[in-house]
Each structure stands twice: as C-alpha cells, then as structure tokens.
Amino acid sequence: DTTHFGFRTVKTSEKADKVHDVFSSVAASYDIMNDVMSAGIHRLWKDHFVRSLDPGRKPGGSPQQILDVAGGTGDIAFRMLDNAANLHHDLETSVICADINGDMLREGEKRAHAQGYLPSDRISFKVQDAETLDAIPDNSMDLYTISFGIRNVTRIDKALESAYRVLKPGGVFACLEFSKVSPAPLDALYQMYSFSIIPMMGQLVAGDRDSYQYLVESIKKFPSQDEFAQMVRNAGFLTAGRGYEELTFGVSSIWKGIKP
C-alpha cells in the first residue's frame, strides 16, 4: 500500500501494479492526452453517455446517489452534476468519484475546486477498488458509471458483481469503453493509428511512450461488444436489445443494464 497526498492507494496484483504505475505517471498529462489522442472526440462520447443517462431528480422523484467508478480526474462526475443542475435544477444529487489511484483523484479534486464543484456535498473523492467497493454499502446507489475504466480492472467479473451489489433494485449500470471497430478496413486503419501514432504522441506530449503503449494494448485485449454484454447479463443485470450502443464505428461503446 502507498499513500499519495492523503489518498491511500491499494495495489493487489501484478496487473494492478502495472495499471497503478501507468495512471500515476499519466495523471498530470491525462486530460490533455485524451484530447490529443482522440482529437477531442472523447468529450462528445462522454457528453452523449451522460446525456443518455440524464442524471438528476425527476419530477416527483428524489435526488440521486451516483457512483462513478474509475472516475479518475472527474470528467464523468462533473458532467453528471451539470446535467442535474442545468436540466433538473437539482443541486442535491451527489456523486462519489471512486478510483484506485490517489494521483488521479488528486487531479480530479484540484479540478473540482477550480471549477467550483468543491467545497460542497455534491461530490466526494474516494480511493476504492472497483472489484470490491468496500466503502460502498449494498443497495445504496441509483446509478453506477464506469468510463474508460473497466478494461483496466484485473477481474472484470468481480467489478460487475460489486456494481450489482451496490446498486438499488431498479438502479442502472452504465459503462463507456473502447470497443471493436468495424468494418474491417476501418479497423485496419484504426489499428495502425493506435499502435504507431498513440505511443509516439505519448512520447512527444507526455514524454512517456510505455504508458501509452500499455493503453492501446489494453484496448485490444478487451472483449468484444457482444462478449461484454453477456458478462453484464451474467452478473444479473437486465439489458435492452443487444445491450450496447456503438459510437464512432465501434471505437467506443456504451453498455447498460438494470438491476432487477
């Protein structure tokens, strides 16, 4: 175990160690690299992801408790608070931004202060492993999100089991992640881009080729859209249709499930 600026960081296995080191070394450059690598498109995907979930108090309903797992520097959490405030005049819905890496959360907390989300009760930052979520009670969350995080988790089935545990019945699981590109010629171009250009940009912009090499390899290893949808169902969630929506030719996809 290590401590970074008051956030305790938990390490559990070789993959977890690697993932921890990657995100500690990219934490400071993470936001700018996202923009550089995706030409800003990750912002559109995240906007669409949050908009499709429409977090916040609905007429006659209550404020929501939201858990954003692998929340990193807060991109999804901030968008959810904005959606609740701007579209539902709701300043009571709250988000826990949970991540295994204290360095990423520290960047998130800095941004939350800079952008006026802190100090308040609307957002909190917690070091948590997606596999266990040991500080989060059973049946306590209305919405669980994980954006570009699940592929970094060592035991994905454990993370899905924990998502199911912490959600209230009727609660929503939503995952945004890189996925498989089609048709095949486009995939060939995408593979070329990701395996040659992204590590090079990592070197140029962040002085860190290896971390960005890891990131593209982890994308390649992640299951297909249908395989991951089946894992979501195996964890007990109900899905509509095939269980996912593809964005930008499958470069990313959104999977959703409901806890019955």
Residue 101 CB, shortest distance to ligand SAM, in Å, is 3
Q: How far is the CB of 199 from ligand SAM (least distance, A)?
A: 16
Q: Are 91 and 119 in contact (CB under 8 A)?
A: no
Token pair belonging to 14: 């070789």
**Rounded Cα gap, residues 153 and 160, in angstroms:** 10
Q: Are residues 255 and 243 in contact, defined by beta-carbon separation less than 8 angstroms?
A: yes
- Distance, CA of 33 to CA of 49 (rounded, Å): 20
Q: Does 70 bind ligand SAM (CB under 6 A)?
A: yes
CA dihedral sign, ordered 144, 145, 150, 153: negative
104 is a site residue for ligand SAM (CB under 6 A): yes
Candidate list 90, 99, 109, 142; residue touching ligand SAM; CB under 6 A = 99
What's CA 35's distance to the chain center, in Å?
A: 16
Tokens of 135: 């500080």
Residue closer to ligand SAM by CB (options 4, 57) is 4
Decide: is 144 part of the binding site for ligand SAM (CB under 6 A): no
Task: Please give the full DSSP string across 20-37, using - where no structure is assigned.
Answer: HHHHHHHTTTHHHHHHHH
Does the protein bind ligand SAM through residue 250 (CB under 6 A)? Answer: no
* Tokens matching residue 231: 């894992």
By CB under 6 A, is residue 198 in contact with ligand SAM?
A: no
Among 100, 143, 174, 251, binds ligand SAM (CB under 6 A): 100
Contact string 14-53 vs ligand SAM (x = CB under 6 A): -----x---x------------------------------
Task: Give min distance, CB of 58 to ligand SAM, in A.
Answer: 25
Tokens coding 64: 């929501």
Strands 2-4 and 244-247, bridge-based pairing = unpaired
**Residue 92 DSSP SS3:** coil
What DSSP state is assigned to residue 238? B
Decide whether 55 or 72 has the Cβ nearer to ligand SAM.
72
Which of 65, 83, 94, 101 forms a contact with ligand SAM (CB under 6 A)? 101
Residues 72 and 106 sit within 8 Å (Cβ to Cβ): no
Question: Which amino acid is residue 3, in one-letter code?
Answer: T
Please say which residue, 92 or 210, places its beta carbon nearer to ligand SAM: 210
Q: How many residues bind ligand SAM (CB under 6 A)?
A: 20
Q: Which is nearer to ligand SAM, 118 or 136 (CB)?
A: 136
Check residue 202 for interaction with ligand SAM (CB under 6 A).
Answer: no
According to the binding rule CB under 6 A, does residue 181 interact with ligand SAM? no
Q: Tell me which residues touch ligand SAM (CB under 6 A).
A: 19, 23, 69-72, 75-76, 99-101, 104, 129-131, 147-149, 152-153
